[in-house]
């Protein structure tokens, strides 16, 4: 109820106000909360005064009370009045109460309190550079009344006791002292508050600008990535056809002119065939890499043991030649993406076979562990191993280490593996010891059954 009333008053008074200065904005809001709070209380205070002055036919008080009543209601409830006018109207009401109390009722104490309150209200609600107005305002009030009393212009007011100049100066000097003190002290306090508010606003603005820049850069990176992916796709796709022609004609050349050319020519032709084949592999890997873009399907139940068995068939030639042996541990069906999983494992197995130690047959072990939020897979081999300094580099596109006896490659296998794990929300890393073997570990998130 109270909150609704507060919101109602705020909507009326602050509708047209947009103060950019943080401290002035704060002052405006404080003022509006103040009048919202004051309205019911000042009405409670004014209504008895109105009734009493009417009954006793005390006309000046009746007039003033009526004006104060109307002004308070207008200030709080009439829309489209500039806030600065609302503020001055309230100051004047308080000023009027002080003057009436002193000069029409003879209450110096409460009267001076009201005049001082005008000072404090002005300091609170007007900008810092206008804080001294209240001091000059009260000074002027005291001097004007001193003159009025001195020239006996208000001496015949019936309610004012002991009205002489000395008496008035003694009383009013207290007011001047207090309003001077407040006028100097409170703005000092405010300037500190102002600084910290300004700092806060500057920080917020910087943060906003930073965020906008970050969003722009993200968008740029995303669109550049898309461009690059499209480019890679087009290149790898369009290059395949002419390359097939080159390889084909080179093969023809080799067959047709075999024995008719000298040794040098034969070597050159086999170099060219070799080069064309390597390029074909590169293009195939590149198009594979560019195809890994985003996940479009839902995860399905996949059987890692089955995929491992299928891959062993794919690599059966190499397995037979190198007398490789595979073992596995704890492989259980889980929800995931079979095609991505298969490509991932295929590349790791291909490397484990390719970078095996020529002095011992490859032993390859694949294991799975279910953790709290993901599955952890490990492919362990007893191959040539990798030096520590290359642990991260090998996952970068086209990065190869030149092992002796290593088979051919494009330097894209592990980049493809990394792209897949990244895209699926997992991670991949390697640990290895040269001469002993390597362990490739990757994680994949656990998808719950729908
Ligand atoms: P490629 O095999 O075509 O060279 P990859 O991206 O698959 O490209 O691998 C990058 C490099 O990491 C390889 O050149 C190789 O030196 C090293 N590497 C990858 N797997 C293994 C492994 N199992 N054992 C030792 N070295 C490896």
Q: What is the pLDDT of residues 364-409, one digit of tens each?
A: 999 999 998 899 999 999 999 999 998 988 898 777 775 555 556 7
**Ligand 1 atom with minimal separation from the 401 CA:** 16
Report the DSSP beta bridge partners of residue 300: 336
Q: Is the CB of 430 under 6 A from ligand 1?
A: no
Nearest to 121 by CA among 36, 198, 186: 186
pLDDT value of residue 402: 59
Indicate the pairing of strand 363-370 with strand 325-329. parallel
Query: How much is the pLDDT for 426?
Result: 94
Distance of CA 338 from the midpoint of ligand 1 (Å): 23
Q: Which of 16-20, 201-205, 260-264, 439-443 shows the highest mean pLDDT?
A: 439-443
Distance 277 CA to ligand 1 centre (A): 19
Nearest CA to ligand 1 atom 7: 413
| Weakest-pLDDT range from 200-214, 224-238, 320-334 | 224-238
Give me ligand 1 centre to Cα 301, in Å.
Answer: 30
pLDDT of residue 161: 58
What are the extents of the domains in the chain? 2-211, 296-445
- Give, for ligand 1, the residue of 403, 414, 418 to mutate: max count of ligand atoms closer than 8 Å to Cβ: 414
* Model confidence at 276: pLDDT above 60: yes
Asked whether the predicted pLDDT for residue 337 surpasses 80, the reply is: yes
Residues 6+ apart with CB under 8 A from 349: 311, 315, 364, 379
Our mutation pick for probing the ligand 1 site, out of 351, 356, 360, 398, counting the most ligand atoms within 8 A of Cβ, is 351
Decide if pLDDT at 427 tops 70: yes
Ligand 1 pocket member 397 (CB < 6 A):
no
105 contacts: CB under 8 Å, gap ≥ 6: 61, 111, 159
pTM of the model: 0.54
The strand pair at 334-336 and 300-302 is best described as antiparallel
* Mean pLDDT, the chain, integer: 85
Phi/psi at 126 (5° precision): -95, 160
- Ligand 1 contacts CB of residue 410 (under 6 A): yes
Q: Tell me, in angstroms, the distance from the centre of ligand 1 to residue 400's CA.
A: 6
Indicate which residue's Cα is closest to atom 2 of ligand 1.
Answer: 409
At residue 362, φ and ψ (nearest 5 deg) are: -65, 135
Asked whether the predicted pLDDT for residue 155 surpasses 70, the reply is no
406 CA distance to ligand 1 middle (Å):
9
Residue 379 and residue 363 in contact, taking contact as beta carbons nearer than 8 Å: no
Instruction: Report the atom number in ligand 1 closest to the C-alpha of 402.
Output: 16
Q: Of the ranges 193-197, 327-331, 353-357, 364-368, which one carries the lowest mean pLDDT score? A: 193-197
| Mean pLDDT across 79-96 | 89
- Percentage of residues of the chain with pLDDT beyond 90: 31
402 CA → ligand 1 middle, Å: 9
Confidence grade of residue 345 (pLDDT, cut at 50, 70, 90): very high
Please compute the mean of the pLDDT values over residues 94-108 and round it to a whole number. 81
Backbone angles phi, psi at 329, to 5 degrees: -145, 130
Residue nearest to atom 11 of ligand 1 (CA): 400
Our answer on whether the CB atom of 403 is closer than 6 Å to any ligand 1 atom is yes
CATH class of 296-445: alpha beta
Q: Calculate how far, in angstroms, residue 383's C-alpha sits from the geometric centre of ligand 1.
A: 11
> Using a 6 Å cutoff on CB, does residue 22 contact ligand 1?
no
* pLDDT at 1 > cutoff 60: yes
CA-wise closest residue to 175 among 153, 142, 148, 202: 142
Indicate the pLDDT class of residue 240, thresholds 50, 70 and 90.
confident
Contact in structure between 441 and 380 (CB atoms under 8 Å): no
Averaged over 65-84, what is the pLDDT? 87
Instruction: Check: CB of residue 36 under 8 Å from CB of residue 10.
Output: yes
379 lines ligand 1 (CB under 6 A): no
CB 74 within 8 A of CB 86: no
Q: Which one has a higher pLDDT value, 124 or 163? A: 124
pLDDT value of residue 110: 82
Rounded to whole angstroms, the Cα distance separating 134 from 112 reads 13
| pLDDT of res. 11 | 86
């Amino acid at each position: 109820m109270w909150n609704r009333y507060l919101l109602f008053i705020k909507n009326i008074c602050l509708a047209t106000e947009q103060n950019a200065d943080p401290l002035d904005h704060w002052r405006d809001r404080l003022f509006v909360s103040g009048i919202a709070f004051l309205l019911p209380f000042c009405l409670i205070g004014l209504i008895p005064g109105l009734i009493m002055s009417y009954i006793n036919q005390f006309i000046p008080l009746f007039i003033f009370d009526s004006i104060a009543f109307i002004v308070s209601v207008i200030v709080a409830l009439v829309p489209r009045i500039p806030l600065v006018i609302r503020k001055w109207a309230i100051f004047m009401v308080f000023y009027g109460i002080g003057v009436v109390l002193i000069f029409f009722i003879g209450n110096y104490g409460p009267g001076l309190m009201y005049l001082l309150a005008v000072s404090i209200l002005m300091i609170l609600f007007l900008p810092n550079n206008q804080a001294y107005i209240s001091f000059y305002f009260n000074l002027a009030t005291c001097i004007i009344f001193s003159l009025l009393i001195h020239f006996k212009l208000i001496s015949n007011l019936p309610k004012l006791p002991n009205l002489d100049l000395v008496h008035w100066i003694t009383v009013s000097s207290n007011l001047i002292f207090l309003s001077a003190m407040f006028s100097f002290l409170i703005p000092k306090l405010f300037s500190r508050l102002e600084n910290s508010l300004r700092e806060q606003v500057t920080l917020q603005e910087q943060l906003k600008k930073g965020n906008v820049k970050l969003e722009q850069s993200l968008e740029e990176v995303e669109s550049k990535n898309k461009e690059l992916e499209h480019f890679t796709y087009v290149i790898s796709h369009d290059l395949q056809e002419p390359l097939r022609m080159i390889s084909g004609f080179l093969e023809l050349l080799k067959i047709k002119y075999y024995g008719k050319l000298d040794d040098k020519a034969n070597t050159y032709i086999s170099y060219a065939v070799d080069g064309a084949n390597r390029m074909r592999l590169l293009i195939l890997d590149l198009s594979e890499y560019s195809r890994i873009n985003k996940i479009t399907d839902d995860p399905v139940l996949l059987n890692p043991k089955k995929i491992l068995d299928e891959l062993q068939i794919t690599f059966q030639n190499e397995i037979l030649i190198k007398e490789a042996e595979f073992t596995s541990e704890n492989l259980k069906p889980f929800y995931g993406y079979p095609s991505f999983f298969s490509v991932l494992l295929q590349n790791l197995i291909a490397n484990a076979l390719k970078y095996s130690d020529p002095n011992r047959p490859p032993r390859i072990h694949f294991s799975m562990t279910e953790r709290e939020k993901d599955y952890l897979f490990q492919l362990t081999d007893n191959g040539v191993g990798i030096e520590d300094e290359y642990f991260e580099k090998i996952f970068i596109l086209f990065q190869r280490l030149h092992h002796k006896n290593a088979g051919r490659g494009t330097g894209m296998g592990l980049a493809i593996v990394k792209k897949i794990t990244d895209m699926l929300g997992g991670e991949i890393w390697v640990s290895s010891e040269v001469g002993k073997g390597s362990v490739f570990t990757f994680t994949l998130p656990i998808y719950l059954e729908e």
